[in-house]
Amino acid sequence: MQRPIYLDCHATTPVDERVLEAMLPYFRESFGNPASVGHFYGWEAEAAVKLARETIANSINATPEEIIFTSGATEANNLAIKGVAEAYHHKGRHMITVQTEHNAVLDPFAYLESLGFEVTYLPVQSDGLIDLQQFEAAIRPDTILVSVMAANNEIGVLQPITEIGQICRDRQILFHSDAAQAIGKIPLDVMTMHIDLLSLTAHKIYGAKGIGALYVRRRNPRVNLAPQLHGGGHERGMRSGTLYTPQIVGFAKAIEIAIASQVEEQKQALNLRQHLWQRLRELDYIILNGHPTQRLAGNLNVSFSNINGQALMLALQPIVAISSGSACTSAKTAPSHVLMALGHSKELAYASIRFGIGRFNTFDEIETVANHVVMTVRSLQHDTLN
Ligand SMILES: *Cc1c(COP(=O)(O)O)cnc(C)c1O
């Protein structure tokens, strides 16, 4: 069996060979626990973690002490949001986020609502961007945290992070951003963007699954966080648990490669995406979801009217690995909350495809996928119209 073409890079990416090579020694001879301060094995692992921490910090213009390793962006988001709520509840109990955030942001906020916090879920405009005036109007004297993602995982839209950061800084409100999709793909600078907390993950940029980080600002202002995992007091007490040396080393390598090749790689992704879009526009009744230019280079998200979304996915499955306009949370399939927030009907949200183009995709693959999608959609639209 031929494996389908992989175009689901917002879900995860394969580990880059260079990343794997960097990781391997830390599974084998250099397997020590970085917290073992009494012998060589510990020092060796500790040195590797230290170097990785510096690389990751530099990549976002932070300092190494501001990087807290976590199991991924889900945990980083939980630590940021619940950690701030617990540490600052005496200052206020109101927080602001956006309807199109990842569930790893929305669910911690929903949990906090159950504890008595108030959360404003900002709507988005039809292009997926928030309205800055509406955002400013939502700020209250008791607002303690704003959380807005840098790049959306479904429609690729890039929110105006610098402007949001400036508004938060002026009002002395902490600003968290989920950058799981943005790291390595667009420049991120926690100083110029006034970001106080930033969630990162490795597996969307050719690192391993199960490793991520939370940037926590230490100066101007110093952010306090209530830890969510208690134990040996690792990561300056903010996140206990033995550090995963191989994953951490690989995470740093993945960021290093992504940043070194960012311009070239994003240019290639943009070319492929533009070609795919040009081909798909041959179709009638196709809608581009999200802002046409203010989006990740490798992201294309489209909806088809007059079509059964499930039939489309079934027909494309053997050819291409893509994601549909539905979110499979546990067992049930619901229409994507992101597409619904753009104002789509349920039917249109179901009849949607997210293409995530990455480092290893080729022009020929895009051409093959385009041919299949055009052919399949035409035949399905024909069926429904007759
Ligand atoms: C993938 C993703 C997450 C979850 O990250 P994990 O490291 O898999 O926990 C969170 N937010 C966004 C925007 C993502 O794309």
- For the CA of 72, the nearest atom of ligand 1: 7
Q: pLDDT (tens digit, 9 = 90+) per residue, 144-160?
A: 999 999 999 999 999 99
Q: May I ask the CATH architecture of the domain 17-260?
A: 3-Layer(aba) Sandwich (3.40)
Query: In the block, which residue shows the tokens 């196709």?
Result: 286
Take atom 9 of ligand 1 and give the residue whose Cα is closest.
74
Mean pLDDT of 373-386: 84
For residue 124, the one-letter residue type is V
SS3 208: coil
Cα separation, 95 vs 144, in Å, equals 6
Say how many Å lie between the CA of residue 199 and the centre of ligand 1. Answer: 9
Confirm whether pTM is higher than 0.95: yes
∠ Cα 232 40 47 (to 5°): 70
- CB-based burial, 25-37: b 16+ in 10 Å, e otherwise: ebeeebebebeee
Among 70-79, 91-100, 189-198, 316-325, the range scoring the smallest mean pLDDT is 316-325
Query: Using one digit for the tens of pLDDT, what is the confidence trace for 7-46?
Result: 999 999 999 999 999 999 999 999 999 999 999 999 999 9
The region of weakest confidence among 49-53, 122-126, 251-255, 305-309 is 305-309
Q: Same topology for domains 5-13+262-385 and 17-260, yes or no?
A: no
Rounded to the nearest angstrom, the distance between the alpha carbon of 104 and the centre of ligand 1 is 7
Q: What is the pLDDT of residue 382?
A: 76
Residue nearest to atom 5 of ligand 1 (CA): 73
Pair 299, 156: CB distance under 8 Å: yes
The domain limits of the chain are 5-13+262-385, 17-260
Residue 332 has pLDDT above 70, yes or no: no
Tell me, in angstroms, the distance from the centre of ligand 1 to residue 180's CA: 5
Q: How confident is the model at residue 1 (pLDDT cuts 50, 70, 90)?
A: confident
pLDDT band at 325 (very low <50, low <70, confident <90, very high): confident
Q: How far is CA 69 from the centre of its chain?
A: 16
pLDDT score, position 43:
98
Within 6 A (CB) of ligand 1 lie 72-74, 102, 104, 149, 153, 178, 180-181, 201, 204, 212
Quote the ligand 1 centre to 159 CA distance (angstroms).
16
Of ligand 1's listed atoms, the one at least distance from the Cα of 212 is 7
| Model pLDDT, residue 210 | 98
Query: What is the CATH code for 5-13+262-385?
Result: 3.90.1150.10
Of the pLDDT bands very low, low, confident and very high (cuts 50, 70, 90), residue 381 is confident
Q: Could you tell me which residues are beta bridge partners of residue 96?
A: 120, 146
pLDDT, residue 386, reads 57
Which residue has the least CA distance to atom 15 on ligand 1?
153
Q: What is the mean pLDDT of the chain?
A: 96
180 pLDDT above the threshold of 80: yes
Classify 220 in phi/psi space as left (phi over 0), alpha (psi -120 to 50) or beta: left
Residue 107 scores a pLDDT above 80: yes
What band does 232 get if pLDDT is binned at 50, 70 and 90? confident
pLDDT at 385: 59
Q: For residue 352, what pLDDT is reported?
A: 95
Pick the residue whose CA is nearest to atom 14 on ligand 1: 180
- Out of 147, 188, 204, mutate this one to test ligand 1's pocket (max ligand atoms within 8 Å of CB): namely 204
Active site residue 328: yes
Question: Per the residue annotation, which of 328, 334, 375, 385 is the catalytic one?
Answer: 328
What pLDDT is attached to residue 46?
Answer: 98
* Nearest atom (ligand 1) to Cα of 181: 15
